[in-house]
Structure 1
Amino acid sequence: MVNAPAMPSFSGKVAVITGGASGIGRATSAWFARAGARVVIADRSREEGDALASRLSRDQGDALFIETDVTRPDSIEATVARTLREYGRIDCAVNNAGLSETPIDLTDATPEHWTRLMSVNLRGVFLSMQQEIRAMLGSGGAIVNVSSRTGLVGKPRHAIYTAGKHGVLGLTRSAAVDYARHGIRINAVCPGLVRTPFVERKFGDGLPALAAAMNPMGRIGEPEEIAECIAWLCSDAASFVTGVALPVDGGAVA
């Protein structure tokens, strides 16, 4: 019988997760807390963020909610500054905050549609990375950006969303090259269809059939499965890995 690998320890480490109060971000926040990290949940939803931070602090360790809007540079700067005041460092950052897109033909999309999606999905990652990297200079660290399988392929009627997620991978790869010499590793995960509250609301009773058709594994992914991959990329087990765009999609891209 093969024993399951031990969970990497993040004891004494500090992890910041944007969009950390729900979906993949929530699962990632909980994963880091279980592994001993001090977790900063950076999210716009105060109600969900406060509740999660309270639960994690009570049951698993040290968690702090900071209300954060990744479209505002001053908000991100304040979140990083408070994290450094409270904990003195940032070892891991997960840029997960994002918006989804209602299917629309490119010719029907408006400039406002573009601005809304890009302000969070691409500009928000750019702004977050700037502050996170500055905090890690001199000490090193690991950053994981949450792209999408749509960052690796085209998706019909999702041109703007697809462009943003491709852009995240460009930021990831270029920054990985620039900051490797500073001991900062920067990678991305590219999730496929994942069971989040948004996905369940969007597809309703049609979700099982959609999941069966989406990838060779014939099932939907769970948020915890994405969190596991994010944590591995942040761990010492991935110490020679940087600039990677890792599909976590049941084989959909393949």
Structure 2
Amino acid sequence: MSRLQNKTVVITGAATGIGQATVELFAKEGATVLCADVNTEEMNKTAEKLNNNGGNVETFHVDVSSEESVTSFANKIKEEYGTIDVLFNNAGVDQEGGKVHEYPVELFDRIISVDLRGTFLTSKYLLPLMMENGGSIINTSSMSGRAADLDRSGYNAAKGGITNFTKAMAIDYARQGIRVNSLSPGTIETPLIDELAGSKEEEMGQKFRDANKWVTPLGRLGRPDEMAKVALFLASDDSSYVTGEDITADGGIMAYTWPGKMLIDEQWKKETE
């Protein structure tokens, strides 16, 4: 359990869900983990727990959509640590907005600002801390960056942008020994899903999860710790010859073209119950 020993890692969107699970895993793997989020309360709880068990975790209040906030954060990291080895651009928001002609401009701007612009800003200002020794950058995209969702064009646009932005960075910085890849989760059991679709205790939330059971070949939603393990692979030397890739971890959803027979095959549905 030391694949990140002596590595300094920055994780944005670190307070809950995939980010929180990754903080916990990376700390156990020996990394110094620098957590960034606007939700400092949840981050501090995680950091306290891990530090009490021998971890090395520090938290920072950072709004990734704000250039001032990100530059201030980068300056603090440079002053305190000098360099970093891994950057996990995980911060993101999502919300339905209706059809494009109905979609609120302010919602579109917010999603693009946090998800896409935030990935750009944190990369821009933290990359200089990796130039000397190389490292790994992981950007959280989504299966929604590879295909579209009903009423979520802003999120689709942001995540599609992240996927291709990742490839651009991979080319730009390969000669500096910096690998850049994206992680595209499917539907993961996180607080964001509770917010978007309802919790497991709510009727709408249960209907959402039941629908995902049969549309997902593996028959269930993913877990945050499963995404953290993919991020660990990309962060560690285990992926030393992998760059410019988008790793999809969606339980098999992107493996088929359309539900087809799945819609009427009772045996398929039954096997997921």
TM over 0.5: yes
CA contact (8 A) 1:193 1:214 kept: no
Distance 1:173 1:8, change over 3 A: farther
Amino acid at match of 1:92: V
Amino acid at match of 1:90: I
- The 3-state SS of whatever aligns with 1:186 is strand
Q: 2:92 aligns with which of 71, 92, 98?
A: 98
Partner of 1:3: none
Q: 1:139 aligns with which of 133, 136, 140?
A: 133
Partner of 2:221: 220
How many Å separate the matches in 2 of 1:231 and 1:69? 24
Summarize the alignment of residues 164-179 of structure 1 with structure 2, pairs less than 5 Å apart.
Answer: 164-179=158-173
CA contact (8 A) 1:117 1:161 kept: yes
CA contact (8 A) 1:200 1:207 kept: no
Partner of 1:232: 233
User: Does the alignment pair 1:196 with 2:222?
Assistant: no
Amino acid at match of 1:114: F
- The 3-state SS of whatever aligns with 1:134 is helix
Deviates more, 1:240-249 or 1:55-64: 55-64
CA contact (8 A) 2:82 2:129 kept: no
Deviates more, 1:86-95 or 1:10-19: 86-95
User: Does the alignment pair 1:129 with 2:123?
Assistant: yes
Measured on the aligned residues, the alpha-carbon RMSD in Å equals: 1.3
Structure 1 residue 207 displacement after superposition: 4.0
How many Å separate the matches in 2 of 1:198 and 1:168? 19
Amino acid at match of 2:71: E
- The 3-state SS of whatever aligns with 1:106 is coil
CA contact (8 A) 2:97 2:104 kept: no
List gaps (5 residues or longer) in structure 2.
Answer: 199-204, 256-273
Structure 1 residue 221 displacement after superposition: 0.2
Structure 1 residue 85 displacement after superposition: 2.5
**Deviations 1:138-164, CA, capped at 9 Å, x for gaps:** 111100000000111122221111011
CA contact (8 A) 2:2 2:28 kept: no
Amino acid at match of 1:129: S
**Deviations 1:55-104, CA, capped at 9 Å, x for gaps:** 11112410000000001112112222222332332100100100011251
Partner of 1:113: 107
List gaps (5 residues or longer) in structure 1.
Answer: 1-6
How many Å separate the matches in 2 of 1:60 and 1:161? 38
Give the count of matched residue pairs. Answer: 248
**Deviations 1:181-225, CA, capped at 9 Å, x for gaps:** 000000000000001022134232224303303311111100000
Partner of 2:260: none
How many Å separate the matches in 1 of 2:120 and 2:246? 16
Partner of 2:146: 152
How many Å separate the matches in 2 of 1:8 and 1:237? 12
Structure 1 residue 8 displacement after superposition: 5.2
How many Å separate the matches in 1 of 2:161 and 2:59? 28
